[in-house]
Amino acid sequence: MSLATRDALEFPDSDRVFLEPHLPAQDTPQIDMPFTTLTFATSLDSSLALSPGARTVLSGPQSKAMTHYLRSRHDGILIGVGTALADDPGLNCRISGVGGYGKDGLDGQPRPVVIDSTARWDFSEDSKLFQLCRQGRGRAPWIITALAEPPAEKKALLERYGGKFISLQMKIAENGKYIIDWKALLVTLRTNGLQSVMIEGGGQVINSLLAPASMSLIDSVIVTIAPTWLGRGGVVVSPDRRFDEGGNPMSAARLKNVKWYPFGEDVVLCGQIKN
Ligand SMILES: NC(=O)c1ccc[n+]([C@@H]2O[C@H](COP(=O)([O-])OP(=O)(O)OC[C@H]3O[C@@H](n4cnc5c(N)ncnc54)[C@H](O)[C@@H]3O)[C@@H](O)[C@H]2O)c1
Ligand SMILES: Nc1nc(=O)c(N)c(NC[C@H](O)[C@H](O)[C@H](O)COP(=O)(O)O)[nH]1
């Protein structure tokens, strides 16, 4: 049995049918923005991980396979550099039958996109993502940076694998942190050929995207809820508070067309934000 076949995940057609209404249409080209899916796995206390930097398994086998199926249905998969540093992620799709897993080429393999404003990700040839590239089982990342001139050595390594830095103007908050313009980023990803993108996390990326100014850019939300609590101190998904004109706290808009699907011991929430 080949390495690829051994690692391949199965996600049955009988489960795929549930997700179809929540996925980018395969034959409808997007005009100026990619179809944007927010997807992540969370505990019962809305945590993505036990602590920043601690890769924490939440998904069971069925919902993990679902996530990899989602990756086969999106052109891009986006994370923040905090996730890249914590997880050394592969960011590829291991569903049986996609490129590198029983099929030649890279069909079904998403483009990894990493928001790394100051190019602090210390990737190397040994990073899992580049190992997969060498094995023909994944694509090289596009790294979104605020730097006009990314570090030459990192740029050279990236380009050797067919990846690239994409420099994007970002605002600088009072605390000195760069703040991305989500609409500008998504338009840039569409301009670079991505018709759809799934945003996987981590906490800072998700909470920023769920802010009032950018939440409406999301087309679909697919959340895996695992039957466990991670406790205080975790990486929590909980966006900044909203307030009405009277200064009273208010909730974000409810998701539309909500469906809940059990996958093994997890339940997966699917909903829409845009109409
Ligand atoms: N359970 C899940 O589904 C899931 C998914 C992804 C990550 N994780 C976990 O989450 C943790 C990482 O989350 P995190 O919050 O520490 O890091 P993160 O992945 O959200 O990355 C944070 C970094 O991304 C950049 N960034 C994020 N939002 C930005 C914005 N709006 N503008 C400009 N730059 C921005 C900044 O450089 C920031 O330091 C890890 O432990 C990882 O294992 C879990
Ligand atoms: N669906 C899901 N269930 C989990 O239990 C979990 N920890 C993540 N986390 C998402 C995060 O993006 C990934 O853990 C890595 O960053 C990528 O992992 P891969 O090497 O690409 O599989 N996602």
Query: Would you call 13 exposed, middle or buried from its count of C-beta atoms within 10 A (0-12, 13-18, 19+)?
Result: exposed
Query: Would you call 174 exposed, middle or buried from its count of C-beta atoms within 10 A (0-12, 13-18, 19+)?
Result: exposed
Task: Kindly provide the ipTM of the predicted complex, given to two decimals.
Answer: 0.98
Indicate the pLDDT class of residue 24, thresholds 50, 70 and 90.
Answer: very high
Residue carrying structure tokens 């694998």: 161
pLDDT one-digit tens code per residue, 112-168: 999 999 999 999 999 999 999 999 999 999 999 999 999 999 999 999 999 999 999
Atom of ligand 1 nearest to the CA of 39: 3
The tokens of 27 are what? 């034959």
Measured between alpha carbons, how far is 71 from 80 in angstroms, rounded to an integer? 17
Cβ of 91 less than 6 Å from ligand 2 = yes
Measured between alpha carbons, how far is 187 from 184 in angstroms, rounded to an integer? 5
List pocket residues of ligand 1, CB cut-off 6 Å: 40-41, 48-49, 52-55, 58, 79-83, 86-87, 115-117, 170, 178-180, 200-205, 208, 235
State pTM to two decimals.
0.97
Measured between alpha carbons, how far is 155 from 26 in angstroms, rounded to an integer? 33
Q: Which of 175, 205, 207, 210 for mutating ligand 1's site (highest number of atoms within 8 Å of CB)?
A: 205
Measured between alpha carbons, how far is 59 from 69 in angstroms, rounded to an integer? 14
pLDDT one-digit tens code per residue, 46-105: 999 999 999 999 999 999 999 999 999 999 999 999 999 999 999 999 999 999 999 999
C-alpha of residue 173 to centroid of ligand 2, in Å: 29
Cβ of 83 less than 6 Å from ligand 2 = yes
Q: Whose CA is nearest to atom 15 of ligand 1?
A: 203
